A and B are shown apart, each in its own frame.
Chain A
Amino acid sequence: MIELRNVIKKFAGRLAVDDLSFTVPRGEIFGLLGHNGAGKSTAIGMMLGQVWPTSGEVKVCGHDVQSNRRAALMQVGAIFETPVFYDYLSGWRNLEILSTYTAPTTKARIREVIEWVGLTGREQSKVRTYSHGMRSRLALAQALLPKPELLILDEPSDGLDPEGIHEMRQTILRLQRELGLTILLSSHLLNEVEQLCTRIAVLQQGKKVFEGNVADVKATLGKVALKTSDFVSATKLLRGSGLIIATEQEKFITLAEGRSTAEITQALVSAGIAVDGIWQHEQTVEDFYLNLVKPPPTPQKN
């Protein structure tokens, strides 16, 4: 659904996106991570034909955005960080206005999306009377109007309270489940990305520094959490037996190649050390992200 190939974007000589390539296949929820100014919004702008790439190719729904923007965006919906509307007009009128920029839309379709996002009863109120949560729902409604196949969400939970964030997360999952949409999600909320996305790309200073499955990010090969009455004695024994190769924070052990948690448990119980718990450790996307973007240690002066 989305294909970026060797995309470069410079603003007045400053490199905002540097040789960015990735693809988002149909049906996937893809996360775009990165700090402020990493190039996420610029990349999204290029996908929507709002920002022109300096070089490279951007394809959306199989069409080149630069040369065939209309076809590329015909079935794309987008939501940006702070939902802005014509505050002095009603929610309904806003949807009517925005729908005419895509294709003729029936009143029944507008009513359908209003119902889907849960704004029924408030659609004739002026948008200035809406709460932030209601504006987010209206933003979602406008994105859903053209019956999109692809939804691009740029920081959709920005400014929402915890309840609003939870609601947005449930809505995104519902969108994929019920409507089968492909979703590109740019977010600062790593927890949100972890819960929603199947695959992520991490941008740092305009460059992609990682792209892969969330499941792979979470699974840390060989790292096991061990809860025992005497961690020091236990690890000394395990090292001596060649079952582990490292320990960490008196909590984690790294298994030697080919070893299993069952062997660890057996060795400790045989030595009379009680095992209160042993499980495969999963690192969070947050741990992974922070390790990835951590600045390299500065060389020490002699």
Chain B
Amino acid sequence: MFLAQLKNELWKLFGKKRTYIGFGAFLLAQTLMLLAFKYTRWQKDFERLLSGNGYLATEFISVLTVSLVMLIPQIMLLMPLYVALVGGDLVAKEAEDGTLRMILSRPISRLRLLFVKWVAGIIFAVVLVLMLGLTAMGFASLLFPWKGMFVFSPGLAFSVLPAHEGLVRFAFSHLFLAVNASVMVSVAFMFSCFNMKPSAATILALSFLFVSMVMENIPFFDRYENWFITHHFKCWLLIFRDPAPWSQICQSEIILFAVSATAFVVGAMAFQVRDIKS
């Protein structure tokens, strides 16, 4: 029965046009970034950075390098926005439309209903991240060759990897990106369980993210960086370090899982005591 409920929840989610806003925005952003990388000084600056460190630029301006270059700003800016949009809709939109009242006239428990919705939200987040990685590689392969991978993210990673190892790490990084997206879905979902409009739930989730980001960047809070989710969100880039700092990555992933679970529990508690009225 759980699988049937989940299947139907996914029908509801993927049947809506607004679910695809994120996919559309990513495709557009990727196209624009790819063209900008190819036809502006961006590529030249990158080549200069590589040659300045003693590498042959032509060997590393590749599908994987460009895919990652396109991915970093999208993951930081667009991904939280679109997953929060869907997460904020999960419960609040149904309450606003009145369909929630119809569902809750049936014998399904509130906890079960929320769990199904939460899992559907996480599936959406995973699909969005996978699509983001695949389309980034697909677009990049149209204009760039398949060669080694160069990773540069100030303060986090500076690596040069052979193509095969680069691909493995690129695929692995998406696992961590999916966790990041799931956390954002869970936070938006939590707000969505309270008595508020879907847009308010989305805005609150994004505010939570931005507050974390701003505070993390204030020097005074350096010693508290482990308390900010945005600090842990960056762990997906650590996978490109050589060697990868696994203990740090695992610590961040555990914290992100805990944040996600806590958001679900808080949301479920709020929803459990709520009166659902027309």
Contacts and interface: CB of A to CB of B under 8 A. Distances in A.
A84 B94 CA distance: 10
B99 interface: yes
B199 to A, nearest CB: 19
A45 B277 contact: yes
Interface in A38-63: 41-42, 45, 48-52
B101 A50 contact: yes
A70 B107 CA distance: 4
A41 B107 CA distance: 19
Interface in B234-278: 273, 275-278
B8 A97 contact: yes
Which of B8, B113, B273 has the most chain A CB atoms closer than 10 A to its own CB? B8
Nearest to A68: B107
B225 to A, nearest CB: 41
A11 B16 contact: no
Contact of B99 (A76, A86, A93): A86
B102 A80 contact: yes
Contact of A82 (B16, B98, B113): B98
A237 interface: no
A102 B98 contact: no
Contacts of B168: none
A41 to B, nearest CB: 6
A50 B276 contact: yes
Interface string A150-165: 0010000000000000
Nearest to A9: B275
A86 B105 CA distance: 16
A49 B11 contact: no
Interface string B97-139: 1110111111111000100000000000000000000000000
Contact of B275 (A50, A73, A93, A97): A50
Interface in B49-99: 97-99
Interface residues of B, number: 27
Given A42-B277, A80-B278, A102-B108, A88 B16 contact: yes
A88 B108 contact: no
Contacts of A86: 12, 15, 99
Interface in B1-52: 1, 4-5, 8, 11-12, 15-17
Interface string A94-108: 001110111110000
A81 interface: yes
Interface string A72-87: 1110111011101110
A81 B8 contact: no
B104 A49 contact: yes
A241 B255 CA distance: 95
Interface residues of A, number: 38
Contacts, number: 87
A103 B107 CA distance: 9
B117 to A, nearest CB: 12
A78 B107 CA distance: 12
Given A84-B97, A96-B8, A52 B275 contact: yes
B11 A89 contact: yes
Contacts of A104: 1, 4
Given A85-B99, A86-B99, A100-B1, A152 B105 contact: yes
A142 interface: yes
A218 interface: no
B14 to A, nearest CB: 10
Given A76-B105, A97-B11, A50 B1 contact: no
Interface string A119-148: 000000000000000000000001000100
A52 B277 CA distance: 11
Contacts of B4: 100, 104
Nearest to A69: B107
B102 A84 contact: yes
Contacts of B15: 86, 88-89, 93
Contacts of A80: 98, 101-102, 105, 278
Contacts of A142: 102
A14 to B, nearest CB: 12
Given A84-B97, A84-B98, A102-B108, A51 B276 contact: yes
Given A80-B98, A85-B99, A100 B105 contact: no
Contacts of A98: 102-103, 106
B99 A100 contact: no
Given A48-B105, A52-B275, A93-B11, 15 more contacts: A11-B275, A41-B277, A41-B278, A50-B101, A69-B109, A73-B105, A74-B107, A78-B102, A82-B98, A84-B102, A93-B15, A98-B102, A100-B8, A101-B5, A146-B106
Interface of A: 11, 41-42, 45, 48-52, 69-74, 76-78, 80-82, 84-86, 88-89, 93, 96-98, 100-104, 142, 146, 152
15 contacts: A50-B276, A51-B276, A69-B107, A70-B108, A70-B109, A76-B107, A80-B105, A81-B278, A84-B97, A89-B15, A93-B15, A97-B8, A101-B108, A104-B1, A152-B105
